[in-house]
Amino acid sequence: MIISQHRKFTPLNILFVALMGLLLCLGVFMHLPEKIVPVFLEPAVDNLIGLKIGSNLTPQQNVFLTLAITLLQAFFLNSIINHFNFMSRPNFMVALMYMTLVSLFAPFLVLSPPLICNFIAIWMLGKLFSIYKLSDVRSLMFDLGLIVAIGSLIYFPFIVMMLLLWISLVIFRPFNWREWITPLLGFITIYFLLGVIYFWTDRLHEYYEIFEPLGYSFPTELSLNVYDFLVTAPIVVALLFFLFVLKDHFFKSVVHLRKSFQLLFFMMLLTVGSFYLNSHITINHFLLCAPPLAIYLAFYFSNSKSKWVYEILYLVIILTILYFQFI
């Protein structure tokens, strides 16, 4: 069965994960629009270089490129989790869960700024998981401040990951004011250099407009149709099962794992809460929740003992995704 196969650490699973990703995007090929809007970066960068990612791609090429990007992200995240031994033994469960989550909604399967930012989010997680054992993390936190700033130039709501850096220090480290200041210095460095460029080009008023999203009023609703809720129902059930499995393993696991799971929770919380920082709210924003959710689901599917439950549950998940893609 699918889950039992991906519990093994075998190179053959690289092919299986790729085939699963291809299967879960088949529905999009049946309903491809005539043209897909290219990816525009945030005005901070777009005003300077005017780069449009995917402007010369056909819809088919756009979907295939997205599939290739998500596969790279899936294996990148999987290697990080195996390195830190989150699943007790190496496997390909995180890669499988990631490919499943990024196929939940049709808009997830085309190029978008949040999709690009997921590379940065996964890279950040690998660095954040490592601060627990380091004696001095100031240079690392400075680098992470730079990384968050670069991510916010691609997709502005990514700026909330600055809060995640400070939360990680609370979770993993005793208080040291120097460690709290250094990520802010890294973040400011990028925007200072960007401000200098705008000043040299006599466009300083456009530079100030970059920060307008911070003044947006918080919306009271987000438009979702009934199908969006139905397709996520099996995922919610799997997360409930994850909580039961986590309850049995939480205090038996090493401290680093417990703290890392707390960090992932705050990452999801910040991502969900930051959707209002985009002037045009879309479902694509929630792609940033895929890395932490994939780790949570992988932990359940790697540690659950009821084979008939987890195999059937995953089958229901993929059938639900395919059903709502084709209707």
Q: What is the pLDDT of residues 41-96, one digit of tens each?
A: 777 777 777 667 766 778 888 889 999 999 999 999 999 999 998 888 899 999 99
Give CB contacts under 8 A, 24+ apart, made by 137-142. 137/169, 137/173, 137/179, 138/178, 138/179, 138/182, 139/182, 141/165, 141/169, 141/179, 141/182, 141/183, 141/186, 142/182, 142/183, 142/185, 142/186
pLDDT for 13 beyond 90 = yes
- CA-nearest of 168, 161, 167 to 146 is 161
Q: Which range, 52-56, 75-79, 102-106, 271-275, is most confident? A: 75-79
Average pLDDT over residues 190-197: 91
Sign of CA dihedral 279, 280, 284, 289: positive
* Ramachandran area for residue 85 (φ above 0: left; ψ -120 to 50: alpha; else beta): left
Average pLDDT over residues 163-170: 95
Share the mean pLDDT of the chain.
Answer: 87
Average pLDDT over residues 164-172: 95
- Continuous H helices in the chain: 2-6, 12-23, 26-30, 43-49, 59-83, 93-101, 113-128, 138-154, 161-172, 177-200, 204-209, 226-249, 255-273, 290-303, 307-326
d(CA 111, CA 69): 9
Cβ atoms of 84 and 129 within 8 Å: the answer is yes
Strand partners, 53: 39
d(CA 74, CA 93): 10
| pLDDT at residue 218 in the model | 59
Average pLDDT over residues 310-319: 94
d(CA 136, CA 190): 23
pLDDT for 133 beyond 90 = no
Structure tokens given for 275 = 């959707």
pLDDT for 172 beyond 70 = yes
**Weakest mean pLDDT among 130-134, 203-207, 290-294:** 203-207
Secondary structure of residue 183 in the 3-state scheme: helix
| pLDDT at residue 220 in the model | 46
- CA-nearest of 82, 157, 83 to 120 is 157
8: CB partners within 8 A, 6+ apart: 91, 92
| pLDDT at residue 216 in the model | 62
Confidence at 25, pLDDT banded by 50, 70, 90: confident
**Weakest mean pLDDT among 85-89, 118-122, 296-300:** 85-89
**Weakest mean pLDDT among 100-104, 154-158, 214-218, 309-313:** 214-218
Confidence at 214, pLDDT banded by 50, 70, 90: confident
222-258 per-position pLDDT tens digit? 556 656 678 889 999 999 999 988 888 776 667 878 8
